[in-house]
Structure formats: C-alpha cells, structure tokens
Structure 1
Amino acid sequence: MSHAEVFQMSVWIKGIIVALVCVLPLLEGCTRHSKKEHYYLITVNVDLPYWKSANEGFQKAASDYGVSAEMRGPSRFDPQAEVQEFRTVVARKPAGILVSVTNLDLLRPEIDEAIAAGIPVITMDSDAPASKRLYFIGTNNLEAGRLGGQRVAAQLNGKGNVVFFTMPGQPNLDERLKGYKDVFSGYPEIKIVEIFDMKGDSGLAMDKAQQYLGLKGKDRIDALICLQSSSGSGVGEALRRAKAEGDPGRLLVAMDTDDSTLQLIKDGVIDSTIAQKPYTMALIGLKALDQVHHDPVKQMGGDYALDPFSPFPAFVDTGVALVDKSNVETILTRKEAAGP
C-alpha cells in the first residue's frame, strides 16, 4: 500500500471515529428505557405463593424493558404496614406504582397524593375505584364469586349450610362474597351460617374449620368456602384429617392455585378452586405504568370514569377459571414446565 493510500485510510478511520463520537450520545439519548426507572408492586403477605407468582410477572416485564422493579410489603396481613410501604415508595419518586388495596380507607388518600405528585398509580388484584388511581387490572371479583356460587349450589343440589372464610373490608373479597350471595339468593335452602374473619392467618382458618367439622345434626356444615388464597390450604388440611378419621367429607371450594391447594384437589379433599392470574396482572401492570411514564397524560388525576375520550380503560379483566379434578393436572403440568 502506497503512502498516499495509507494516508487516505487514516483519514477515513478518523472520520468514522468522529462520527461515532457524535452519534452515540444521540443514540443513548433516544433509548426509551433505563435501569434508573424504578417500578414498585405494593401488597401485603408478600411471602404468599400468590404474590410470589405476581412478582415473577412483574420481574419478567422489567427484564423485557430493561427497567428496575421491586415488590414491597409486609410478610403477614398488616394493612397499616402496607400503607407505610406505599409512603416510603412514593417518597422515592418512582416511575410508577402497582398496588393491591387491602384497606380502602387507609390507601385512598395515599393513592390520591401520589397521583397529585405526578406518580402513575394503577391498582391490581384489589381495587380502589373511589381513588384517583388510573385504572384497575385484575379479576372481575363479582364474577369470580358467582362462578364459585354456581359450583356450590350445583354440588349441594341447592340446599345446605355454608360458611365463608374471608377478611371483611378488603374490596376484592367483599366483591367475591357478594357474587356468592347473588347466586345463593336463588336457592332459599342454602343458608349462610357464618362469615368468618380469618385475618390472613391460615392457622386460624384451620382451627375454625375443625370447629365447623365438629357440628352435627341440623347444625352440620355442608360447605366451606374460602374467598382468600391463604385459607384454602389450612381448611383443606382440616378436611383431610377429618376424612382420615372417618368423616364422610364436606364440600370445600377454595381460591387461587398455590401448589398445596392443587394437590388437595388432586387428592379429592378440595372440590375445586377459582383460579386467577396474578402473574398476568403484574406483567401487564408494569408495562401499563411504563407507557404512562413515557407518554404522560396532561392531567394525571383527571376524572376518566365518564370521559368518552379517556386515554385509559376503566378495567382490564385478566379472567378467572374453575379448577377441579377434571383439569387440575393441566395446571400442575404447566407449572412444572414453567419451573421455579
């Protein structure tokens, strides 16, 4: 290669280097996502399988987008602690918050303050429709209750004593209870004996179930209904022990698809469970928050409920399904294939 050619080559390389130096900062500035964007999922009982599944969806979306995500909340049922976690996260001025509302009265003002500060807030699993949250992603809990109610009515042939395990005051659980009551209103021989507050404690639910199983004669409980996931395994274990001691068995309809509940269905202890999609809720939730963060609306706290030109839906329904012995293997196989 001649000296002239070498000189031309060096000039060409220097030109490329100068171009890259000028263009790379522009490309970096055009990148939509960054690890500096922090999204939070706030709930209670973060150690429950239900919320671990939700966090998997949350982290998957974060990984897809290249942003940071964290689930926070108490490891036991504690609405006050959830509020404190919400406040802590708001103070960090995150890109967005996805929250499951355990206590509407406590969280509503906190959500409204976050929205007023320009922080996008979307509810999942349990809603706060009276707040200024942008919208709700999750189960149509009224329909979930009606689905369970239809199953109970069919299995009891329209008559019997039933009890509920729930946590009164939690919006999603109250809606499920209403759904059951809507169905039972058409069956006058189905009697609701008690609505038991299990306070988020599986052990407490199990102890109470054992008391119910001891009732005889006209007071005999024919069906036990769990409106919240953590009660299903405890009540199911009480039934399993009773059957081992000769009890003829009672109808148990649970909620959600943790491994212990699915195994008890497979073993014939639990009749069925109402399946939700927490993974999907959180996956969609982070992506929805990201959209609002990057394409903000002019008025974050606007009244979008009656707005025919609203940029947001009122509700994203992630669906429910009834799981019984006929299809439980399908879910177990899918879970095994997905891995831990």
Structure 2
Amino acid sequence: MSMWVRGTSLMLAGAFLLLSGCARHSKKEQYYLVTVNTQLPYWTTAAEGFRKAAAEYGVTAVIRGPKNFDPQAEAQELRSVVALKPAGILVSVTNPALVGPEIDAAIGAGIPVITMDSDAPASKRLYFIGTNNLQAGRLGGQRVAAQLNGKGNVVFFTMPGQPNLDERLKGYKDVFSGFPGINIVEVFDMKGDSGLAMDKAAEYIGRKGKDRIDGFICLQSSSGRDVGETLRRAKAEGDPGRLLVAMDTDISTLQLIKDGVIDSTISQKPYTMALIGLKALDERHHYPTDNPMKGDYELDPFAPFPAFVDTGVSLVDKSNVEGILTRSQAGPQ
C-alpha cells in the first residue's frame, strides 16, 4: 500500500471516528434543570452553566421551575418533567419530603437524576453535586466569631427545612458552640421572600441595649443584598453599623462588600455545578453501567459514581472582592 493510500485511509478513519462521536448527540436529547426562584441571579448563573454544557455537546438544555419559592410547585414541575422522559434531570431539592418521591419515580422510569445545590440523600438520586454546606457554615461562623471578638447577639435569615440551608446553620452552630459569648437570638424564616428579610432586618436594627443585634447572617443568596440595603440606610441615618455575613456572589452582594456595607460572603459555584451536572447526566445516559441506578456509593469501593462532588467554597471580603466582582461582571468566557 502506498504512503498516499495509507495516509488517506487514516484520515478517513479519523473523520469517521469524529463523525461517530458527533452522532452520539442530538438536539432531540433533552436535559432538564429543575429548581425554584428561577429568576434569582444564583439560578440564572446556574442556567448559563447548564446551557454552556448543552451547547458544547449539541443537546438541548431546559430550565424549569416556579419563579418564587414554592416547594410544592417544584415537585409538580419535576413530576411533569419525568412524564416527558428526558435524557436526564438535574434538580435542586427545596423539600426532600415533596421532591424525593418524584426523584424516585424518575429513577424507576430509567431517567438518571443528579441533585445539585441542595440534596435529597434518602432518595434514589445518583449523587449530589454542590457545596459542602456544613463547611460553608463553619467558614462563616469562624468569620463572625472573629469579627465580633467572640461575643454578641446574632440573627439568621433562612428557610428552615431546606437541606442545604439547614446544613449551613449547623455549621455556624458548630463554631458558635466554642464561643459562649455569642448568642443566637432568632433563626428567622424568610419564606423565600427577601422582602420579608429586609423588613425583619429593620426591626432588628431598632432593638437597643442588651437586646441590640450585633450580627446579621444570611444563609440564602437574595437576603444578603436586601438586608445589606437596610443596613446601608440605617448607617446613613446614624446607626454605628452592624456585622453582616452573606451567602453567594451575585453582583449586588459583591458591590455591597466593596462599599463596606457587607463584611463578607461565602462563595459557591452554581455555574460549575450545572455545567458538570449536565455532562455527568449525558455520560450516564450514553454509557449506562451494569449496576442498578441506586447503590450505596459511600461504602462501595467499586461504585460507578461518586457519592458527592464538592465544587468548593471560599470567603470573599474586601481584600479579594475587586477581582471577583470584575470576573463576575465579565460573565463566562
């Protein structure tokens, strides 16, 4: 065989393999991301990551869920998505009791499901991609303890019962257990409405003397921005200022750190969670394992999947906010 013929054969073989790889995907192949509060910056950032992965693979990404915090509506949305028999589902769990059975139904129908951001570990989901939320809470707790010199009254803004937020709260409490001078006055249920958090913050600011609130801690993304605006207004009216530790890195929160209103925020990576989430679902869809879709992956040394993919957590304060703000404003590259 001549060198020309051999070279041509190799080129054709390479082209065939390339085309075969491309043929693996189709726009008809649909992956769904299901969550709540879909218009929040946190979730629009996650959606960008989800769509980026879909564009790379030539598949279709669909974002579904209520625009407000409505766990019941999320469960219903997930049920409707399962009925469509998509290639895979990525879901953030607001209420495991409501969403868990829908996850199990999807797995029972042969649809791979991975949780992100907030988990349902008792469900049959494959695994969880997201933040180590206990670590996130401990990181925030260490910051609060340091900034308050180990003493003061603090309040939390959260939604009790949401797994990721409950884990963050536990992380804070773990740290505060070593600081008897820090008193948790209240864990306020903001019911997914940052406006309620803003109103409650104004009430807290009005408390004086021994009832004075020294530290405000937001375990959920949007509340940091709105509580921060309340503290900004109070400071302009003569309040000496309070400690505020927020959650996540939407641009409004980062700007308030730069302005000195918010002390710091705990950063996580929703873009990354959703990006690798779709790719992981695609891998499972195209290359199913011989093992059942549910197994004890924490204990199995030969598990086909991890039990947990940690996308990382870090503290953002005035010392590093400028670079992160610039990067966030530039968007994904």
TM-score (norm 2): 0.93
1:1-340 matches, cutoff 5 A = 31-298=23-290, 299-338=292-331
Q: Is the 8 A contact 1:97 1:122 kept in 2?
A: yes
Secondary structure at 2:197 match in 1: helix
Range that drifts further, 326-335 or 222-231: 326-335
Q: Is the 8 A contact 1:123 1:136 kept in 2?
A: yes
Q: Is the 8 A contact 1:61 1:286 kept in 2?
A: yes
Question: Partners of 2:110 and 2:29 in 1: how far apart?
Answer: 15
Q: Is the 8 A contact 2:204 2:213 kept in 1?
A: yes
Unaligned runs of 5+ in 1: 1-19
**CA shift for structure 1 position 108:** 1.0
Q: Is the 8 A contact 1:116 1:301 kept in 2?
A: no
Residue type matched to 2:135 in 1? E
Deviations 1:47-106 (A, max 9, x none): 000000000000000000000001110000000010011011100000000000000111
The equivalent residue for 1:7 is none
Residue type matched to 1:312 in 2? F
Q: Is the 8 A contact 2:266 2:316 kept in 1?
A: yes
Question: Partners of 1:89 and 1:312 in 2: how far apart?
Answer: 24
Residue type matched to 2:300 in 1? D
The equivalent residue for 2:5 is none
The aligned length equals 318
Question: Partners of 1:62 and 1:260 in 2: how far apart?
Answer: 28
Question: Partners of 1:328 and 1:72 in 2: how far apart?
Answer: 32
TM-score (norm 1): 0.91
Residue type matched to 2:118 in 1? S
Question: Partners of 1:178 and 1:29 in 2: how far apart?
Answer: 46
Secondary structure at 1:237 match in 2: helix
Task: Return closer, same or farther for 1:309/1:211 CA change in 2, 3 Å cut-off.
Answer: same
**CA shift for structure 1 position 329:** 0.4
Question: Partners of 1:248 and 1:301 in 2: how far apart?
Answer: 54
Deviations 1:15-74 (A, max 9, x none): xxxxx9xx99x9569721111110000000000000000000000000000000011100
The equivalent residue for 2:7 is none
Question: Partners of 1:29 and 1:151 in 2: how far apart?
Answer: 49
**Cα RMSD (Å):** 1.7
Task: Return closer, same or farther for 1:29/1:127 CA change in 2, 3 Å cut-off.
Answer: closer
Unaligned runs of 5+ in 2: 1-11
Q: Is the 8 A contact 2:251 2:328 kept in 1?
A: no
Q: Is the 8 A contact 2:251 2:329 kept in 1?
A: no
**CA shift for structure 1 position 248:** 0.2
Larger Cα-atom Rg? 1
State the identity as a percent: 81
Question: Partners of 2:296 and 2:308 in 1: how far apart?
Answer: 14
